[in-house]
Structure 1
Amino acid sequence: MSDSDSPTSSSCLSPQLKSLWVVAADIWHGNQIFAAKRKLDGGSGLKWDLPGRNVEAGESAPQAPQREILEELGIVIDVGPFIGTFATPLDKHLIELECYWCTSQDREFTLSRHEETGWFEPIELQALEWALPDIPVLEVVRVPTTQ
């Protein structure tokens, strides 16, 4: 990854970047983390990410991952503590990824917006090719905190 591809702080970015706020769920089942591989035709095609998307009108940021995961994957999650917001410049956007610790009792899912999904041991995450906005989250999410 070149320096221009690296995630960075929003304080040193060009004002020409359009801010895009999204939420993501760091979903745990036991000692495994859920990750999803994006479809080729979307942004960051064929890259892995922590699933989530935009916050809809009338919902809070913690409610968005719960709705999105149910819509995209058909699994119910419990949204836990806020992990942090991670800013990454990508093309003409500043992706501001707000991430939450989540758990799920469900292990079976349905694919709709993803090419592939899976449950991974934390050490296995480093072998996946991640979407740039998710890379700064990985250092934090590899070991779950007390929830």
Structure 2
Amino acid sequence: MTDLPTIAVVCAVIKQQDSYFIAQRSAKMKMPLKWEFPGGKVEKGETNAQAIMREMKEEFDVNVEVIQEHPFYLHQYPNFILQLSPMEVEITSGKLTLKEHANYRWVAVKDLFTYDFSEGDVNIVKALNKRDKALNQ
């Protein structure tokens, strides 16, 4: 058992046509220039759905609707444990605007592995790849 703090985080899994939305962390952020499914910490008193809606508005100036909440993943970093809850969401309004991130892309699932993701997000890449393969069999 570890005494490391656990940080609850949500991330947005957004699919349009056959591509997923990913964002590159800025050079000033922790894990600089790594790619991720964007999101952030769940604040005290917030549900996961409220957190992802707030984060997407703050970071990209878009409103999202939660389609489905997926089971969380745990990833241990040296100083904390990340409890990452992927939230399948749809952009309902707004124009994607980078407020904190360096870049963003819409990427086909087969190409996600070519991006340098933060370690916690790798499980999501693997799950999407597995789901895509199952759907295309």
Give the whole-Å Cα distance in 1 for the aligned partners of 2:103 and 2:93: 17
Classify 1:119/1:139 alpha carbon distance in 2 versus 1 (closer, same or farther; 3 Å): same
Q: 2:70 aligned with 1:92, yes or no?
A: no
Give the whole-Å Cα distance in 2 for the aligned partners of 1:57 and 1:17: 19
- Runs of 4+ aligned residues of structure 1 deviating over 6 Å after TM superposition are none
Q: What is the match of residue 126 of structure 1?
A: 113
- Verify the 8 A CA contact 1:33 1:119 in the aligned structure 2: yes
Classify 1:125/1:106 alpha carbon distance in 2 versus 1 (closer, same or farther; 3 Å): farther
- Verify the 8 A CA contact 2:61 2:94 in the aligned structure 1: no
Give the whole-Å Cα distance in 1 for the aligned partners of 2:109 and 2:64: 19
Compute the RMSD of aligned alpha carbons: 2.2
Give the whole-Å Cα distance in 2 for the aligned partners of 1:127 and 1:107: 29
Q: Which residue among 60, 64, 87 is the counterpart of 1:73?
A: 60
State the identity as a percent.
23
Q: 2:108 aligned with 1:114, yes or no?
A: no
Give, in angstroms, the shift of residue 105 of structure 1: 5.2
Q: Which residue among 8, 16, 19 is the counterpart of 2:3?
A: 16
SS in structure 1 of the partner of residue 33 of structure 2: coil
Unaligned runs of 5+ in 2: none
1:22-80 C-alpha deviation (Å, 9 max, x unpaired): 11110112221100000122211110000000122332111211111011001222211
1:91-137 C-alpha deviation (Å, 9 max, x unpaired): 21111101111122569411111011111111121110000010111
Give the whole-Å Cα distance in 1 for the aligned partners of 2:49 and 2:20: 18
SS in structure 2 of the partner of residue 76 of structure 1: strand
SS in structure 1 of the partner of residue 31 of structure 2: coil
Give the whole-Å Cα distance in 1 for the aligned partners of 2:11 and 2:43: 14
Q: 2:24 aligned with 1:37, yes or no?
A: yes
Classify 1:105/1:32 alpha carbon distance in 2 versus 1 (closer, same or farther; 3 Å): farther
SS in structure 2 of the partner of residue 20 of structure 1: strand
Unaligned runs of 5+ in 1: 1-13
- The TM-score normalised by the length of structure 1 is 0.81
